[in-house]
Amino acid sequence: MLLALAAGTAFAQAQANGDAALSARVDLAVEAQQKAQKIPGISLAVCRDGKIMKAAGYGLANVERNVPMTPETVLQTGSVGKQFTSMAVVMLFEEGKMGLDDKIAKYIPESPSAWNDVTVRELLTHTSGIPDYGSAEAMNKGVIDLRKDWDYYGDFLQARIFRPLGMASTQIISEADIVPHRSSGYRLVKGQLKNQEWVSPSLNTTADGALYTNVLDLAKWDAALYTTRLIRQSSFDLMWSPVKLNDGKTYPYGFGWGLASRGGHKVVIRDGAWQVSR
């Protein structure tokens, strides 16, 4: 008994030492990139088996006020938020309330005739042919009225995902609400740090990722994705399968998720950007 206890203690100590060494390496790597890319602040969480192994902030959440970045700091998601839209649609699909191969005109009857053959699945996989609403083509044609779409998007996410998972710091972007630990946004202009440009409220509440969240909430979301708490495994398989293109080939993108392989392991990825550096 004493021998087993001693062995267990030694193993735990060795693991703790290894984790500390890894944590230090992470700090060095992040701080190097922060300096090289002139990033004012970074928030990071490293998880293992659904648990946070390291959560840290680097730099500043607000440069003018010298507010430090922390794991609690709330940031804009950019397209990182697309995965939540994907989850919401798959939930509705599981409940028989939406078909993946339904034409979107079924749900948006006022949509232009050019969209008549576009399906829900094609929207999720970005293969619909509808131009990006931020593109010059979309702006010139008035493709999307950003003041009408996704009226109940935030309510659905709160009720079905954020509250059940305890993601208390995650919400639709709001300029009016008091948001604890909200960071400021910045961009690089000719190598100089500038405040982010003003974006209209309607453009900041669309379903392509206009959310506030922090790394602590994202860790809870990450943990849930290893379970069937939100959707069935078969639905995860569907959501994380490469899209089949018209020429029969596949592309490594699922329902709002990028797909890759690292060291023989399947990887699902969702990055994002908004008002990118230039």
pLDDT digits (tens, 9 = 90+) for 233-274: 999 999 999 999 999 999 999 999 999 999 999 999 999 887
Separate counts of helices (H) and strands (E) for the chain: 7, 12
Say whether pLDDT at 149 is over 50.
no
Q: Are 262 and 254 in contact (CB under 8 A)?
A: no
* pLDDT at res. 132: 75
* pLDDT at res. 3: 54
Choose among 47, 86, 77, 79: nearest CA to 241: 86
Percent pLDDT > 70 in the chain is: 85
pTM (2 d.p.): 0.86
Pick the residue with more confidence: 195 or 277?
Answer: 195
CATH code, residues 74-269 = 3.40.710.10
Neighbours of 85 (CB within 10 A): 22
Task: Convert the pLDDT of each residue in 116-145 to its tens digit.
Answer: 999 999 999 999 988 776 665 555 555 555
Say whether pLDDT at 114 is over 60.
yes
Query: Across residues 84-99, what is the average pLDDT?
Result: 97
Domain positions in the chain are 1-73, 74-269
Output the average pLDDT for the chain: 88
Neighbours of 104 (CB within 10 A): 19
* pLDDT at res. 111: 86
Burial class of residue 111 (count of CB atoms within 10 Å of its CB; 0-12, 13-18, 19+): middle
Burial class of residue 261 (count of CB atoms within 10 Å of its CB; 0-12, 13-18, 19+): exposed
* pLDDT at res. 107: 92
User: Going by C-beta distance under 8 Å and a sequence separation of 6 or more, which residues neighbour residue 191?
Assistant: 38
Q: What is the DSSP letter of 160?
A: I
Percent pLDDT > 90 in the chain is: 67
Q: How far apart (Å, rounded) are the C-alpha atoms in residues 97 and 78?
A: 27
Say whether pLDDT at 8 is over 60.
no
**Residue 56 CA, distance from chain mean position:** 18
Pick the residue with more confidence: 62 or 19?
Answer: 62
Pick the residue with more confidence: 180 or 137?
Answer: 180
Q: How is residue 176 written in tokens?
A: 């009016």
* pLDDT at res. 11: 46
Q: Are 73 and 43 in contact (CB under 8 A)?
A: yes
Q: How far apart (Å, rounded) are the C-alpha atoms in residues 275 and 278?
A: 9
Positive or negative, the Cα torsion across 187, 190, 192, 195?
Answer: negative
Q: What is the DSSP letter of 159?
A: I
The residue type found at 269 is I
Query: Across residues 197-201, what is the average pLDDT?
Result: 76
* pLDDT at res. 10: 55
Query: Across residues 201-206, what is the average pLDDT?
Result: 72
Pick the residue with more confidence: 111 or 55?
Answer: 55
Query: Across residues 2-21, what is the average pLDDT?
Result: 63
Q: Are 90 and 75 in contact (CB under 8 A)?
A: no
Neighbours of 120 (CB within 10 A): 21
Task: Convert the pLDDT of each residue in 38-90 to its tens digit.
Answer: 999 999 999 999 999 999 999 999 999 999 999 999 999 989 999 999 999 99
Q: Three-state DSSP class for 124?
A: helix
